[in-house]
Structure formats: structure tokens, C-alpha cells
Structure 1
Amino acid sequence: MQNKDVLFEIGLEEMPARFLPGTIEQLESKTTAWLNELGLSFEKVLVQATPRRVAVTILSLSDKQPDIEDEVKGPALRIAKDEAGQWSKAAQGFTRGQGAAVEDIYTKDVDGTEYIYVKKFVKGQHAVDLLPSFKDVLLSLHFPKNMRWGSGNLRYARPIRWIVALYDEAVIPMEIAGTESSNLTYGHRFLGKTATIENPAAYASVLEEQFVIVDQKKRQQMIIDGIRQLETVNGWHIPIDEDLLEEVLYLVEYPTVFHGDFAASFLDLPQEVLITSMKEHQRYFPVTDPSGQLLPHFIGVRNGNSDHLENVARGNEKVLRARLQDAEFFYAEDKAQPIEKAQEKLSKMVYQVELGTLQDKVDRVTKIAKMISEAAVIDQETAARAERAASIAKFDLVTNMVNEFTELQGIMGEKYARHFGESDSVAQAIREQYMPLSSHGALPESVEGTIVSIADKLDTIVGSMVIGNVPTGSQDPYGLRRQAIGIIQMLQKTDWQITVEEIVNGTVELFEQQALPTVERDTYTEDIRNFFKQRASQLLKEEGISHDVVEAVLSVQIGNYPYTLAKAKTLQVLRQDENFKPVQEALGRVINLAKKGADHGVEEALFENEYEQQLYSMLNQKKTAYMEAASNRQAKEALDTLAAFADTIHAFFDHTMVMAEDEKLKTNRLSLLNQLAALILSYADVTKVQWKQVQ
């Protein structure tokens, strides 16, 4: 028999655009895994989706599984035969379980022991009998949110309305939530009608006749071509925002691009207000001139054909005009209300039940900002501006504009701050407090903005942890992971002489002073430590640092992140250097043995040989040089200082019994090793490094 194509289409009520990219990715991987598990060969898996359907086409699927002849090992021959030389019950049970008979048994020697074997033949099943199990793949899909409909118990992205399941021309029997499979699909909700799919190859063309472009790549190109055509005809520049393009792509089944206009007087509004109104609220693409200045036009995408497109444009213009008129009113009203008046409202707005009001948060952020400035030794003028910015950082949250356009928080704060006479630095810091907006987004440019941003994020993260709101799995509703990564990235960019632990512990202390934690201290301190360590680990790995080196440099603490990164890069190179292996062995031996005791102080009078004295003297001599290199964050120099101990350490262990019977001698020697181990561990736990030799 020849290979055939397969089509599965599941039709639903309109799904949110944000559901579809992940659904497409899941279906492709799950379908491929399902086919591989069944042992069915295929040419390609093609997943296509619109708001009302998700379809999987399997090209050139083999008609059946391959037949398999396998050799199955049974019990040892001495067990397989009884004392009379007859096949035992164990042998009979073994063959029966493999669908064979005792006459099929043969033996093979395995490491000097005879075992019985049989050949097991598994006949491959036909694809037509296996395809109905694709129902399990469809039901295994995960969505950001599910719903239940009717009297059924199935929870799915949206109610299922039809199912197409075809093996070439034959319908594959399948039923989900009372919906039976067939070869009938449904076209555009308003322009199309019911259509019959004769075979999978005809799927896309049949739907196109019903005003559905099922191929998302083709739909996207239609949108881009329509935008570029308007650019050319009108001499406009239309920047295509990729996120907006993806959203629009999954909002329509048959895209038609159109343009509309709005009154030029609205251009007096802040550009961000206009763009937000168009992009976020109406899904329009803004239009600019070649220099990037906004023009009073917008680009929309209709879910339909070009009939009566002028009426569509007029209707959209009316909707946008109403929004912009509201924005005009809000802008005028907000500029009439001083910052101090807005600030008064913050004390009446709950930030988090256990953590108080927005004003309480502002007060904490202001104190944290001051603490950061002092730790980083920021000059007084800059520190004062950062403190001022922190103290008014949230005033725009109570403005009309941000209440209507929440995406503009910080942005409007900057504009209103300038309007009310705040310095440029303070105004800029108010906007930059929310940066970075993504894990690898742009960081604040100003020192003041960096201080306020770190302070705000520390308050959010620590505040969540002390009341037990710790992100689990993929659940992170407050974006704590992104914010922690942002803190570390900002510390890397500024290169301040502060450690992550220093500012985190200072923030924790502030919450404790205000008696805000609701969980046990040991619990939240461990949660916070692990949380930041995981984020630092992620960033180090993104820098190409191997897992073992990451564990080594983070074993004690994150510390000063730029220096930690430099140490990791140094070890990453040396882990492949055979000449450094004896150094690692010496330093590692010190760390391991030091664990058997503690530092109770070293008494030179208890030294019994010159090697003890040499190691202690060297520790006292080199410690200052090491600390100076570490203070200057000279990773290579600091490690070279530790490496200089190697020969002395080896000599010490060759001539000294650390675990002496005399308790005083043992304690003294362990104290010496503990002092040296503390120095080594402040760099990295080198016992965790796996030395890889270049072949």
C-alpha cells in the first residue's frame, strides 16, 4: 500500500490570540512524539491555526508499523529445566508469555552461564487502526486557561464545535465531548459556509474558498504585503511591531489591511499615549513620517474581505476618536493636580493586604534606595535625587491617564514630573524604575533610575517572600524572576562595589523591623537565598559557564556579581589546564579536611614541624595580597595567589598528621586549615569543579 496523508482539524469557539503560538508548538512536538512512539514513519508534520481552528497535517504517513522480530532472553538453563531434563514451569511460562512454545527455545552463553531464548515476532498494526488514538494527543494539550461548557466535564481552551479527521479520503472515527469526527469543516463565521474536505491535500484550498487562510505564514505575509502597499502608495513609514503583528495574525482568519485617519490636533498628546491607544486598545499599527514623527493615520487589519472597506475604516476612526478624546481630557485633568495631591491618595490604596498600602511601599522603597546609595558610595547629590525619585515614584498610578492606560505607568510619571518642575534626573528615574521590562530588556541609563529600579524590585521580591508568595513551577504572576534577573543585570552594568547579599539582607532587615513577615524566618531567608542564587546561576550559564563552575562560584554566596562572573570565566578556562590540576587537588584537600573541625584560633607554640609553620606564615603573608586582589576584583590575580599555596599545602600534608591523637594538636591543625579554607571558599568551592582535559 502507498503512504497517505492525514488531517486532523479541531474547530472551536474563538480562542484568544495568545493561546495559539504555544498550542502550535505543543501540537507539533506532541504529534511527532506520538508518531515516533507508534513507529509510523512520515515525511512532515504541519500545524496550522486560526482563531477558530487548529489543524495537524501528517504528510506521507506509512500505512502500517514495521513487523518486528526480537530476541527475548529468559531464565538461566539450570532454572529452565528440571532434574529430569524437562522444561520447567518457569520455561513454559516464559515461552507462553512471548507467544511461543518450548519447541522454539534455544540457548546462548552469557558470561559463562547458559540462558534460554526465543524469537518474538510482533506484527505491525495498520495506521488506520492506530490513528483514532490521536484523540489522546488533542486532549493532552495545555492552555493558559481552560473552560467547561454544557453538561460535560471536559475542560478545554474553548468549546469544541467540530472535528475533521481524515486518512486520505476516509473519515477516522473519533469523538470528543460529544462531537463526532467527519469530513465537514466550517468557513469564515460571516463570509463562509460549511464545506466538505475530500482529502488532506485539498484542506487549505477548500478553506480559502470559504474565506479562511488556514496557513498562518500566508496570513502573516498578506498582512505585511498590505501594510507595505499602503506605505508605498502614501509615502508613509509603518513600523511593524512583531508582538502586535503576531497578535493580529491570530485574531483574523482572512486578513485585509485598511487605513484610517484621526484629527491632527490629537498629535499634541504625548506620543506614547497615541501609540498605546492604537496598539494596545485597538490593535492598530501607528504611521510615521520617514523621520519617525507620528502622522494622524493608523493601519488596521480586518477579519474579512475588502467589501465596504470604507465603512470599516470610518467605524474604526469613530472608536479611536472617542478614545483619544478621553485621553485629551485625562491629560488636562492630570496636569491640574499637583504631585502632592496625587500622593495623598496612595495611602488609601492597598498594595498587598499583608504589606500595607502603596504609600507604605513607597516609604520602604525610599529607605531601600537610601541604603543602596550608601552601600555603593554614591555622591550626595545623586543620592538625594534618587531618594526624591523613589519618594514620588508611584504618584502617577492614581492619575486618570494611567488608570485608563495602565501600560503608561512610569512613562506618564516622567512627563507629569517634568510638568510639575522636577529635575530631568528625577523624572527619568520615575520612568526607569520599571526597567528592564523583560529578562534581557533595556536597563536604566541613569544612576538615579538604577537605584530606584533596584530598590523597587527588592521591595517586591522580599515582600512577596516574607509572606510566603514564592514562585513555583511556571507560576510567577508578579514577575519576580524577571525582577531578580534585572537586579543582577543592573549590578553588573553599574559595577558598584556591593554584593547581592548586602542589599538583599538590608531589605530583609527593613521588613523585619516593621514586623511584616508572616512565615518563619528560616523559611523566608532560605527562599530568598535560593531564589537569587537560581537567577545568578541562570545568568552565568547564559554567559557560557558550565554547571560545575557555576556551583563552585556560588557555593558560599553570589557576592559582587561582576567579580563572581570574572571568577567563573577564569575557572572556566583553567578547568581545561592540566597544569592547574595539582593546584585544585591541594586547595580541594584543604576544603574537605577543614570540614572535620572549626576555627578555634591557631597557636604557633603547638606546631611540631616546619611545614605547619611554613603554611601558617604563608597564610599570614598572602592573605593581604589575596584580599587586595579580591577587593579590586582581579579574579586571575586572586586565584594566582591561592595557587601559590599548592606546593606548601602538599608538603604540609606529606609531613603532618592532621587528625592527631593529641586533641590539642588536631584542633590547632584543623583551625589552620579552616582559616585557609575560608580564604579559598571566598573565591570558589574548587572541589565542585570537574577538570576537563582538552584532547
Structure 2
Amino acid sequence: MANNVLFEIGVEELPARFVDDAEMQLKDKTIAWLNEARISYNSITSYSTPRRISIVIRDIAEVQSTIEEEARGPAVSIAKDEQGQWTKAAIGFAKGQGKTVEDLVEKEVKGKSYVFVTKRIEGKPTKEILPGFKEIITSLTFSSNMRWGEQSLRFARPIRWLVALYGEEVIPFEIAGVRTSNVTYGHRFLGKPTTINDAEEYERILEENYVIADAGKRKTEILNGIKALEEENNYKIIVDNDLLAEVTNLVEYPTVFQGTFEEGFLKLPSDVLIISMKEHQRYFPVKSSDGNLLPYFIGVRNGNGTALQTVVKGNEKVLRARLADAEFFYEEDQKNSIDFYLNKLERVVFQEKLGTVAEKVQRVRNLTQQIAEKLELPNEATKHAIRAAEIGKFDLMTNMVNEFTELQGIIGEIYALNFKEENEVAIALREQYMPTHANGELPATEIGAVLSVAEKIDTIVGIISVGLTPSGSQDPYALRRQAAGVLRILEDRKWKITLEELLKLAFDLYDELDLDKDQDYQDKIYDFFKLRAGFLLKELGIEQDVVQAVLNEEIGNFNYSIEKAKILSNKRQDASFKATEEALVRILNLADKAESNVVNPDLFETDSEKQLYEQYLKSKQPFEFHNDKQEGLKAFEQLELLADPIHQFFDNNMVMADNIEIRNNRLALVSVISVLIREFADLTMIEWKQSF
């Protein structure tokens, strides 16, 4: 029988959002642990359900690999005395390695001789090492943890059983009062405790007890069930990937079913129905072939098909109650006006130091108007943007959003249209919250993008200005997501406006307010956005040193910063660029010594000085033209034209000449060229030599 290993952590039901990450952590940590322990294996398979996280290691080696290590000791000059005898330092080193001085050898490292010893580390039996896997389990991390009983261990949910098998033998250890065994547990209601004799039986035994351990197989089961219903009924089930992933991690043995609701509820806005089904009940909505919502929903039961109709009726009853509430709230909301809801905002606190939501609305309105003017939007678009900002939060006071918070913005759009607002205004009310997650959809309209940026910048500046900068995992106002959203919108819209210009609008607004602000809040906000910008650039595959070079001075036009970063990242890998890089970086390194930016051509003594200055004059205007138009490659080409004249300049001139006039003039020439280069990026921050 092959030596297979199984570890299973049985727990109370994990929140669905924890399951995938826990499985990935367990697999990654297991691989790292085995590699560090020098234990070879054939393959590793991980599993997860709401009640278990597990891993199977197939064909594991019976012993660790034996290795030979070379340890370096003191320099020979210290290891031997003048007579060539071993010193106490050498004897102590050898003894510490379990050897004698007779085992020492001399080797040269970078021109200096040292003593070395080679030692053989025999591999231990794997069986002796496996109990250490306990540390892998206790090292798993979750966004929130709990303790239970008198246990000191913090874990996502209480551990109820542990399976640890090496072949047929139980690997002994204990966690939080739970000892390892070879007994696993099936479905909470349909399964039973079952003994496992070999890891290869694991999936089969669980499936016999109504648990599909492989999350991928559970997802396939759900999709197959959905497809079968679609083919049978000739309709289209709307499968949201996030919801599918969540449902997959809510069940151990999925059975797909169809339920119905009264057609009368279809008079409600479709978004209301869909949110009610998806967010509150974890159902998949159903549409006809022409895209109209149908009075059906698709659910997934955690169990088999026994008494499924009873389950269907129970789910229909629950959904009917939710939709009846939604219908009541919707009808009640229509009895009031937008102004009615806006007045109620004056009694709702946004943040203790920042005042009410009504005051926030006024700030966002001011920012929206200024951004629209900076972008030179047409008068009609500016008017719509300002109106959208003025009524942007009215829906927060409606019964519908109070009950279904996920509908904020969506209800704003629906009700605004009901109240005869312009279509562009209504759409912006929904788009102001975009993107709703890291890679979420961005506003599709200019007005929506303006309002979204204004709303997010006001929140970020306001919250950080009163000392609530996010730290660690604490970010209750989701400022990181909002900052990333601002940057993504700037990249998407390609506005001719820098992030710093946008932030200054908010700073000027906040400086007029009588608030107890942090003295250095502006610097904190700049740094906060730089961290987010750096994160987004790294997601695009940009190296950290290139990120620092591009963002050193400011973020600027973020879409252009991305383009420059990509250009430099490509150049960084190009060995033929080495001479150009050396020239430009040499200019930057010397520029700080300049006392003036005024160049006097009459003081030039050599042709190379004249040629460099002439090339600078030729390159300056086209560089600034292309740089202003955010044409990165064309702008950088102008800098590359300076490389040869720069090399000639340094080869034929002593920059730090004895004549102070000549020296200062040459430094001034270096300085004006450095200004051009720094407008593109601080190339001194890039570790160019690593690439060549």
C-alpha cells in the first residue's frame, strides 16, 4: 500500500467567504512545510466544505532526504596562529558543527580565505515528523476568529474532530482538546461517523455519506442542475459567479430545485426582486428568452432529493414574505417626495466629527461642480451632475433601502425616474457607488464618474482628516476600496486632471470648515493614495522599483503613470537600453549639486557642451508636447536622444571644474536636463543593474 497521508479539520459551519481561502492556505502551507522538511511526495489534493478543510498527500517518502551542508567558519587568519596551528576559534567552530579540526578545509571567498566544514544531515523517518503538522493547522488565519469553552486557540469556528492518517496509522496530536483519529463525519443529517483506513478512500467514503468534498465537483453539480432546468423549461437562469461560489461553500451535498412566486410581484422593479432573491435568500433569478424576469427562483438544497417539495414550499413561503415586505415599502415610498427624504438627512449623522449626511451632500455638491468645471463639461452635463449630487443620498431615507441596504443607489435611480428626474441624473445616483468591489464595474457615464469621484474623495479626505486613517485590517469606511475606485475611474476616463488637483479641491473645501483636523492630514492622504496606486500597478505586473520611480513625485494623471510604468518596466528588461539608462541616471545623480538653472552658452568651452545643450533645446519642446498629451513612448524617445550627447559631455568635460563660473554653468546644464527626466520619472530609484 502506498504511503498516503490525510489531514482533515472538522469544524462547525464556516462562513462561506472563509472556505476557499482556508483551503488555499492549507495547501500552500502544506507544500511549504513538506519542502522545508525535505519530504518528497507525488501529489497533493486539497478539499473543503462548510464543515471541513482537508488535504491528501499521495506517495509520501518514508524518510526525509539526506543532505550535505557546507558551513563557513572564521577567516584563516583567525582560525590559525602564526605557527599555522589551529586556534580556539577554529576548534570551537569545528566542535559546534559536531566535527574536529581535522575536518576543516580552507577555501577562498572574494579573495579572502576561510575555513569550512561539510556535514551530513541524515533524514529522519517521515512518521516522526508528521505530528508537527499540528502547527500548520493552528497557523491558519481568518478575517475574524473566536475562542470556545476554556480553549486558548483562536480559530474561525470550533474544531469538532481531527483526522490524521499515515497509511493506516493515526498520526498522534491534539488541538484545543480534540485528539486525532481515523473517524470522519458525513453530512450533518444524512451521514454518519465512518472509519477511514486509507486516504485514497476519503472522497468515496464522504460521498457515500452525502458529502462532496471537492468544491469544484459541487460547483459542477450545481451548474449541471441549473442547465437541466433550463433545458426542461426553456428559460435562462442568471448565474452570478460570486453567488455561485458562495452557494457552493454553503452546502456539502447540493440538490438544485425550482420554486415560484406570485406573478403580481413582477410589477416591482426587477432589481428589487433580484436583490431580494440573491442577497437575502441566495437564489438564482430566472428570465425568459427575451430577457424579462419570470416568477421563478432557483435554490440549492444542502441534501438529497428526499421530500424536496416540502423544501420548495418552505423556501417559497420565506421568499413570499420578503417580497410582500418589498411591495409594501415600495408603495409607501412613492407617497413622498425627494425633498421629503432630503430633509430627513439633516437628522442623520454621517460621522461624529464630520456632521450629518446632509452636510456631506453639500460638500459633494461643491466638489462635483468644481470637478465638472475643471473637466470643462458642457453646461447641460454640469447641471445634471450638480443635480445628481444634490439628491444623491435621498434614497437612504426610504423604507426600501432601510430594509434592503444593498439597494442604495439602485433605488435612487428607480425612484428618481419615478419622480421625473432627468435620465442622466437618475443613472448617476446608481453609478456613484461604483465600483462596489475591487474589480467591480465602473461608471459608464461621464456624470456618474464625476459624482462617484467626488463622493469618494469627500469620504476619504473627511475620514482621514479627523484621524481615522485605516490601519492593518481595520477599514470600517472601506477607504482603500474607494481610493482604488477613484484611481480606476481616472484611468478609465483618461481625464486631463491629476489626482493631486482633485485632492486640492477637497483640501481647500475642508480648510474652510471648522473641524478639528490632523495637522498633517494632507500628507497622510497623499501617502494613502500612493499606496493604493502602487498596489494597482503591481497588480499589472509592474516591479516595485519602477512603481517607486513613477510615483516618487506625484501620482499625476494615473492613466499616464501606468503608461510610463509599463514603458520603464519594458526598458528595464532591455539590455540594449543600458547606455541610455546610465546617461540619464548620471545626470540625475549630479543635478542636486547645481545652484542655478540658468545656462549661459557663452561660457561653453567644448563642442560636447554645445552639442548637449543644442540637443536639449531640440528635445525640450517636443518632450513637453508629447508629455502633456500623455504620449509616453514619444516623450521618452526625446529623452533617449540625449543619451549620446550626455556621454560625450561627461567624457570630454570636467563638470566640477576649478573655474567656478564654468563649473556652475555645467551644473546648470545638468540641472535643466534633469528637470525633463524627472518630469517622466525618477530613474535613480530603478535597480537597473539587476536586469543586465
TM-score when scaled to structure 2?
0.90
The answer to whether the 8 Å contact 1:436/1:444 transfers is yes
Aligned twin of 1:105: 103
Q: Distance in 1 between matches of 2:69 and 2:442?
A: 60
Aligned twin of 2:429: 430
Q: Which moved more, 1:287-296 or 1:587-596?
A: 587-596
The answer to whether the 8 Å contact 2:76/2:106 transfers is no
The answer to whether the 8 Å contact 1:577/1:693 transfers is no
Aligned twin of 2:56: 57
AA aligned to 2:245 is E
Q: Distance in 2 between matches of 1:192 and 1:580?
A: 66
Q: Secondary structure at the match of 2:371?
A: helix
Deviation, structure 1 residue 329: 0.5
AA aligned to 1:245 is L
Closer, same or farther: CA 85–184 of 1 in aligned 2, 3 Å: same
Closer, same or farther: CA 315–552 of 1 in aligned 2, 3 Å: same
AA aligned to 2:486 is I
Aligned twin of 1:374: 373
Q: Distance in 1 between matches of 2:157 and 2:340?
A: 46
Closer, same or farther: CA 576–418 of 1 in aligned 2, 3 Å: same
Q: Which moved more, 1:588-597 or 1:22-31?
A: 588-597
AA aligned to 1:371 is Q
Aligned twin of 1:33: 32
Deviation, structure 1 residue 574: 5.5
Q: Which moved more, 1:476-485 or 1:411-420?
A: 476-485
AA aligned to 1:558 is I
Counterparts of 1:171-190 in structure 2 under 5 Å? 171-190=170-189
Aligned twin of 1:165: 164
Q: Which moved more, 1:223-232 or 1:530-539?
A: 530-539
Aligned twin of 2:345: 346
Aligned twin of 1:45: 44
Quick check: 1:526 aligned with 2:529? no
Counterparts of 1:137-536 in structure 2 under 5 Å? 137-516=136-515, 518-521=517-520, 524-536=521-533
Which of the residues 556, 581, 598 maps onto 1:602?
598
Closer, same or farther: CA 77–412 of 1 in aligned 2, 3 Å: closer
Closer, same or farther: CA 221–579 of 1 in aligned 2, 3 Å: closer
AA aligned to 1:528 is I
Q: Distance in 2 between matches of 1:649 and 1:549?
A: 23
Closer, same or farther: CA 74–694 of 1 in aligned 2, 3 Å: closer
Deviation, structure 1 residue 414: 0.4
Q: Distance in 1 between matches of 2:514 and 2:87?
A: 75
Aligned twin of 1:680: 677
Q: Distance in 2 between matches of 1:81 and 1:540?
A: 54
Identity, % of aligned pairs?
A: 49
Q: Distance in 2 between matches of 1:126 and 1:576?
A: 46
Q: Which moved more, 1:488-497 or 1:253-262?
A: 488-497
Deviation, structure 1 residue 608: 6.6
The answer to whether the 8 Å contact 1:285/1:300 transfers is yes
Closer, same or farther: CA 326–42 of 1 in aligned 2, 3 Å: same
Aligned twin of 1:591: 588
The answer to whether the 8 Å contact 1:211/1:304 transfers is yes
AA aligned to 1:469 is L
Deviation, structure 1 residue 643: 5.0
The answer to whether the 8 Å contact 1:107/1:114 transfers is no
Q: Secondary structure at the match of 1:154?
A: coil
RMSD, aligned CA: 3.3
Q: Secondary structure at the match of 1:682?
A: helix
The answer to whether the 8 Å contact 1:161/1:179 transfers is yes
Q: For 1:241-268, what per-residue CA distance to the aligned partner results, in whole angstroms no more than 9, with x for missing partners?
A: 2211111111112222221110011111
Q: Secondary structure at the match of 1:134?
A: helix
The answer to whether the 8 Å contact 2:211/2:253 transfers is yes
Closer, same or farther: CA 136–639 of 1 in aligned 2, 3 Å: closer
How many residue pairs match? The answer is 690
Deviation, structure 1 residue 503: 0.8
Q: Distance in 2 between matches of 1:45 and 1:216?
A: 15
Closer, same or farther: CA 129–499 of 1 in aligned 2, 3 Å: same
Q: Secondary structure at the match of 1:347?
A: helix
AA aligned to 2:627 is A
Q: For 1:480-518, what per-residue CA distance to the aligned partner results, in whole angstroms no more than 9, with x for missing partners?
A: 233223222322333322111111111122112214353
AA aligned to 1:361 is K
Q: Distance in 1 between matches of 2:115 and 2:330?
A: 87
Closer, same or farther: CA 101–694 of 1 in aligned 2, 3 Å: closer
Q: Distance in 2 between matches of 1:608 and 1:172?
A: 82
Counterparts of 1:525-674 in structure 2 under 5 Å? 525-543=522-540, 545-571=542-568, 584-599=581-596, 602=598, 604=600, 607=603, 609=605, 623-643=620-640, 659=656, 670=667, 673-674=670-671
Deviation, structure 1 residue 360: 1.4
Q: Secondary structure at the match of 1:455?
A: helix
Q: For 1:202-242, what per-residue CA distance to the aligned partner results, in whole angstroms no more than 9, with x for missing partners?
A: 22232233222222222222222222222222222212222
Deviation, structure 1 residue 356: 1.5
Q: Distance in 1 between matches of 2:173 and 2:576?
A: 66
- Structure 1: any 5+ residue segments left out of the alignment? none
Closer, same or farther: CA 84–161 of 1 in aligned 2, 3 Å: same
Q: Which moved more, 1:449-458 or 1:318-327?
A: 449-458
Q: For 1:525-550, what per-residue CA distance to the aligned partner results, in whole angstroms no more than 9, with x for missing partners?
A: 22222222333334445555555544
Closer, same or farther: CA 509–606 of 1 in aligned 2, 3 Å: farther
Deviation, structure 1 residue 134: 0.9
- Structure 2: any 5+ residue segments left out of the alignment? none
TM-score when scaled to structure 1?
0.90
Closer, same or farther: CA 545–51 of 1 in aligned 2, 3 Å: closer
Q: For 1:584-621, what per-residue CA distance to the aligned partner results, in whole angstroms no more than 9, with x for missing partners?
A: 5554444333312444x738598475877887787677
AA aligned to 1:516 is L
Deviation, structure 1 residue 351: 1.1
Deviation, structure 1 residue 384: 1.1
AA aligned to 1:255 is P
Closer, same or farther: CA 560–310 of 1 in aligned 2, 3 Å: same
Closer, same or farther: CA 341–127 of 1 in aligned 2, 3 Å: same
Deviation, structure 1 residue 554: 2.7
